[in-house]
Amino acid sequence: MPHNPEDFRPNVGMMIINQKKEIFVGKRIDHPSEFWQMPQGGIDAQEEPSIASLREMEEEVGLKKNKVELITQSSDWYYYSLPQDLAETMWKGKYKGQRQMWFLYKFTGNEKDINIHTEHPEFSDWKWVAKDFLVPNIVPFKKEIYSKANELKVIIYNDSDFKFAIQEKKKVSKDCILYLQPEWSKKEKSLEKIMAFNKLNPEWKLSVQTHKYLGLQ
């Protein structure tokens, strides 16, 4: 069943990777258990998600925008629901959970640029980890979201987007799941080109939305 966006608080998540393709995680300051997560935060009214991601990154881990390089962002929202007891108390019960737009950033600064002791700290500790660390060490209700954090989806609008896809593939880990999706206003022409590209580059998959359009399982 499709989610009603109004029931989910708009939010951004940031995956920050270093030169070794390790991922930044922080230990939440307000949680007694050994749960670690990537930075995330709410989107203010009238704020663009991309702007929110840079603001939240600086507020949570002290990184200014000149210390990171945007690699890509998710093409759609990812939803997760809170446990009922949390949903009833957080945000005065207004939301069932959060809908997140995710951003992948390459860290270009020095570790001294990272500062979790901000005005309103979110984390008590931080470290760089391998991708396999993420899902087992996040709170249970975010596990599904984090299992999707190793995907790269490229929207195909014209031929130059295939070159972009090839360039972006070089920036992600070897086991990253690669998706191509047509821009729907040009889907008839784009689908034929995507399928031809996929025959030559079988590591790329059709997106879920494309499979639905084609009637494939």
Whether residue 155 sits in one domain with residue 99: no
If you average pLDDT over each of 54-58, 74-78, 153-157, which comes out highest? 54-58
Whether residue 166 sits in one domain with residue 74: no
Output the domain CATH number for residue 48.
3.90.79.10
Give the three-state DSSP class for 9. strand
**Number of structural domains, the chain?**
2
Label residue 84 exposed, middle or buried (CB < 10 Å: 0-12, 13-18, 19+): exposed
Whether residue 158 sits in one domain with residue 111: no
End residue of a domain, out of 100, 121, 147: 147
d(CA 66, CA 109): 8
Query: pLDDT by residue (tens digit) across 124-156?
Result: 999 999 888 999 999 999 998 888 766 777 888
Q: DSSP assignment, residue 150?
A: T
Whether residue 29 sits in one domain with residue 101: yes
Supply the range of the domain harboring residue 179.
151-214
Query: pLDDT by residue (tens digit) across 92-106?
Result: 889 999 999 999 899
The rounded mean pLDDT for the chain is 87
Read off the pTM.
0.74
Whether residue 31 sits in one domain with residue 136: yes
d(CA 142, CA 145): 5
Residues 7/79, Cβ–Cβ less than 8 Å: no
Whether residue 181 sits in one domain with residue 138: no
End residue of a domain, out of 123, 147, 171: 147
Whether residue 159 sits in one domain with residue 138: no
Whether residue 16 sits in one domain with residue 81: yes
88 Cβ contact partners less than 8 Å away, ≥ 6 residues apart = none
End residue of a domain, out of 147, 176, 206: 147
Whole-number pLDDT of residue 149: 67
Whether residue 89 sits in one domain with residue 72: yes
Whole-number pLDDT of residue 32: 72
Span 6-25, average pLDDT = 94
Whether residue 204 sits in one domain with residue 182: yes
Whether residue 205 sits in one domain with residue 133: no
Query: pLDDT by residue (tens digit) across 176-199?
Result: 788 888 876 667 778 889 989 999
Whether residue 141 sits in one domain with residue 159: no
